[in-house]
Structure 1
Amino acid sequence: MTSDEVLTGTSRVTVFALFGVVFGYATHHLDARRIGEVAVIGPLTSGVDWKHLWQMARDCGRPTAGDAELAQWVLTQATRAFVCGSDRIAQFDANGWRLEPGGMRVRFESTYANRDQLWLGNLTVDGLAEDQVSWRPTIYTA
């Protein structure tokens, strides 16, 4: 499912590098319970489109993986950065972010990594310096 609307929010944000590209991982709440059931993930590096992350999942996942499994791979990478600090560049408890229209939304069949959905798109995160979102040297490519 694609998204045709801009989504803005203020929530926990993790900024991390994966295969040289810097991504943001935020949470979004669908109702007043504010349990963060939606993972919002997108590239922060200039010139990189969200489809690059989806292609990374295809390249690293099983050849027959469907959208839900690819979305799980994406969420696993973001969760790894949040929990383990692997390749984490910044961590905010409450920070503003903006997800541009034209992205992709995937609903999991059951809760995965404490999230019910993954929304991918081109993301911006408030207050990041250029050196925090610039391309990172890496020995791995995808």
Structure 2
Amino acid sequence: MAVVEPLAGQSRVTVFRMFGTVYGYATHSLDSRNIGEVAIVGPLTPGVEWGRLWDAARKMCRETEGPADHARWIMAQASRSFACGSDVVVKLPTGTWKVTSGRRAELHGYCYRDHLWTGNLTVEEVTPDQVAAYEPIYRA
């Protein structure tokens, strides 16, 4: 798994809650086809680092599962929020985002994405109230 280089873009953004943290899910295209083959997922809650997302995946997956399974779990949570509206804070048809640090994983078409890039995420259009930490029902 490679380290994510800083990247900025504009695309649809789903902001969702999970285990006390607010996360963002955006898409990115690697070429002019603009098909969004890269999923960008990261915490938006101030003070939360991207590693918390991978920690949650490790805790929620079976002990025998490895990083590829953890990446699919992360993608499934983001996709679930986008498609089902589960725990969605806001959906932005076009959001301006930036991701720094983090790590990359291959998804090989899982949830219609080829790559997962996780990292520290910011989205210009969200408000402090929308990304504030909250008291969860469940903890990971």
- CA RMSD in angstroms comes to 0.9
Residue number in structure 2 paired with 1:138: 136
Residue number in structure 1 paired with 2:113: 115
Residue number in structure 2 paired with 1:67: 67
Please give the secondary structure, in 2, of the residue aligned with 1:35: coil
Residue number in structure 2 paired with 1:127: 125
Residue number in structure 1 paired with 2:34: 34
Deviation at 1:4, TM superposition (A): 5.3
Residue number in structure 2 paired with 1:83: 83
Residue number in structure 1 paired with 2:102: 103
The percentage of counterpart residues that share the same residue type is 50
Task: Write the letter of the residue equivalent to 2:103.
Answer: M
**Inter-partner Cα distance in structure 2 for 1:136 and 1:15:** 14
Task: Write the letter of the residue equivalent to 1:104.
Answer: R
C-alpha distance 104-126 of structure 1, shift in aligned 2 (>3 A):
same
Please give the secondary structure, in 1, of the residue aligned with 2:9: strand
How many residues matched? 140
**What TM-score do the two structures reach when normalised by structure 1?**
0.95
Segments of 5+ residues of structure 1 without an aligned counterpart are none
Please give the secondary structure, in 1, of the residue aligned with 2:3: coil
**Inter-partner Cα distance in structure 1 for 2:37 and 2:5:** 19
Paired residues for 1:13-24 under 5 Å:
13-24=13-24
Segments of 5+ residues of structure 2 without an aligned counterpart are none
Deviation at 1:126, TM superposition (A): 1.1
Runs of 4+ in 1 over 3 A off after TM superposition: none
**Inter-partner Cα distance in structure 2 for 1:68 and 1:117:** 11
Task: Write the letter of the residue equivalent to 2:118.
Answer: L
